[in-house]
């Protein structure tokens, strides 16, 4: 076996077949179960192999923004080589999972922590990083601590506890939390890959993204693409919840239809009137359109994207406007309060949605909500106002006939108005 020109050493273990990849080692997999299932991953520094395989895989980030993993790594490598004074890069595994309806990252960290660690080590080797961080919600710390202690190659990984707020996982907030203990987004004029933690080139990757990197490092980009399609290659983790369902995490192919995912989760689509896709910054997809594929390309016409893989169900007897008003209020309260348009604008937006939902209003309210939402976009140090405005816009359009009914004093869904 030769390591020449490769980021990792080829693996003798056979690759997982079918869409169950990230959990193939079973529940609560320790390091030995992990290696029996996936084989040992020998990390070799600096080779172009893994970089090329990531490009071939088409892997995109699983934290929400869906940016190309290869591009992001390229940007960090470029920044390292462009510097007049050398500074080694930093890689951060982001497991903050501030999305209230997502448990896929904590589930992954509990059952497959070693894939995340492998991905972190492989990515660090690729960019020549000397420091690595595992940033995770409090509930996953125990599992991670045990996993780190099980192996010898984790000495340069520092475990950091994330705050349990909605925005603690935003990339600049992650860096700020690790550097200063303040989990709030920061004003930026350059990308984190150029200057992040202590002004070093910094990669912040979602933990699921890194778990996929660990498998691509072993089995290659073509294997990754054997599930999914086009720009949505591979598999992704989704969390199904709402409408009285127990929260469930599933691993699905990148070309799975939402209706098929719900069926696999044991949900009858007949009880669902709409699904909020992506997360609280996401997009409502009405019941009639649930045959849409959970992919970037298929959701684009709806203004949506898979985001963090959240599928939050609205039951037939729930009012989408009331639910959206509650979520908007939550998001307003989760504003860091640093940026004026977010601090005042989201509060006003939530109040408008509450008035529409309560059925005490007129048609001016809808226009005002649309106008206010649009005015907030792009006016903050992070995308919290943009995402919240997007949710409201999506609700006003997906539940347009409900809005109409509410503004004439009726609710079609519940008896409350």
Partner 1 sequence: MSAAKKSTSVLHIDWTKCDGRGLCAELVPDLLGRDQWGYPIALKGSPSARSDIPLPSQRMDAATDAVRLCPVLALKIVRAS
The binding site for partner 1 (CB under 8 A) comprises 185-187, 189, 338-342, 344-345, 374-375, 377-381, 386
Query: Tokens in use for 352?
Result: 């408008």
Distance CA 266, CA 291 (A): 16
Q: Quote the least distance from Cβ 122 to partner 1, whole Å.
A: 32
Q: Closest CB to partner 1 among 338 and 358? A: 338
Per DSSP, what are the bridge partners of residue 94? 135, 206
Q: Closest CB to partner 1 among 142 and 337? A: 337
Q: Quote the least distance from Cβ 303 to partner 1, whole Å.
A: 13
Q: Closest CB to partner 1 among 6 and 381? A: 381
Q: Quote the least distance from Cβ 305 to partner 1, whole Å.
A: 16
Q: Closest CB to partner 1 among 166 and 399? A: 166
Query: Tokens in use for 189?
Result: 């004029």
Distance CA 18, CA 35 (A): 19
Residue 331 · residue 384 · CB < 8 Å: yes
Q: Closest CB to partner 1 among 81 and 291? A: 81
Q: Quote the least distance from Cβ 185 to partner 1, whole Å.
A: 8
Beta carbons within 8 Å of 270's beta carbon, 6+ residues apart = none
Helix locations, 171-311, DSSP H:
171-180, 207-219, 221-224, 258-264, 296-299
Q: Quote the least distance from Cβ 375 to partner 1, whole Å.
A: 6
Q: Quote the least distance from Cβ 68 to partner 1, whole Å.
A: 19
Would you tell me how many other CB atoms lie within 10 Å of the CB of residue 153? 13
Would you tell me how many other CB atoms lie within 10 Å of the CB of residue 341? 16
Q: Closest CB to partner 1 among 82 and 288? A: 82
Query: Tokens in use for 155?
Result: 């000495």
Q: Quote the least distance from Cβ 39 to partner 1, whole Å.
A: 44
Helix axes 400-407, 340-358, angle to 10 degrees: 70
For the chain, the C-alpha Rg in angstroms (whole number) is: 22
Q: Closest CB to partner 1 among 321 and 339? A: 339
């Amino acid at each position: 076996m030769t390591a020449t020109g490769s980021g990792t050493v080829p693996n003798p273990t056979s690759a997982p077949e079918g869409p169950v990849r990230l959990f193939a080692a079973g529940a609560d997999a320790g390091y030995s179960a992990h290696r029996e299932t996936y084989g040992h991953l020998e990390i070799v520094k600096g080779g172009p192999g893994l970089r090329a395989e990531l490009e071939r895989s088409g892997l995109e980030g699983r934290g929400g923004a869906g940016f190309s993993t290869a591009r992001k790594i390229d940007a960090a490598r470029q920044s390292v080589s462009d510097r007049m004074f050398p500074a080694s890069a930093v890689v951060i595994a982001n497991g903050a999972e501030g999305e209230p309806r997502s448990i896929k990252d904590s589930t992954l960290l509990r059952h497959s922590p070693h894939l995340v660690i492998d991905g972190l080590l492989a990515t660090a080797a690729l960019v020549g990083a000397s420091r690595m961080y595992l940033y995770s919600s409090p509930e996953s710390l125990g599992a991670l601590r045990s996993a780190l202690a099980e192996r010898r190659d984790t000495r340069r990984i520092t475990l950091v506890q994330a705050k349990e707020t909605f925005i603690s996982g935003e990339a600049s907030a992650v860096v700020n939390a690790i550097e200063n203990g303040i989990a709030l987004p920061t004003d930026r004029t350059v990308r984190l890959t150029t200057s992040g933690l202590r002004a070093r080139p910094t990669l912040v990757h979602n933990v699921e993204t890194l778990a996929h990197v660990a498998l691509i490092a072993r089995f290659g980009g073509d294997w990754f693409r054997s599930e999914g399609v086009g720009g949505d290659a591979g598999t992704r983790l989704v969390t199904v919840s709402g409408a009285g369902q127990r929260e469930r995490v599933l691993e699905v192919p990148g070309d799975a239809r939402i209706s098929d995912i719900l069926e696999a989760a044991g949900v009858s689509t007949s009880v669902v009137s709409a699904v909020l896709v992506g997360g609280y910054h996401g997009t409502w997809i009405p019941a009639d359109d649930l045959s849409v594929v959970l992919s970037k390309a298929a959701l684009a016409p709806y203004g949506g994207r898979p985001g963090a893989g959240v599928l939050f169900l609205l039951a037939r007897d729930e009012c989408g406007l009331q639910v959206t008003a509650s979520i908007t209020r939550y998001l307003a309260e989760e504003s860091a309060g640093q940026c004026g348009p977010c601090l005042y604008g989201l509060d006003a937006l939530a109040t408008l949605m509450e008035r529409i939902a309560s059925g005490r209003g007129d048609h001016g309210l809808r226009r005002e909500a649309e106008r206010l939402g649009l005015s907030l976009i792009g006016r903050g140090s992070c995308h919290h106002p943009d995402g919240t405005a997007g949710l409201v816009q999506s609700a006003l359009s997906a539940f347009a006939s409900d809005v109409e009914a509410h503004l004439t004093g009726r609710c079609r869904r519940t008896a409350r108005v």
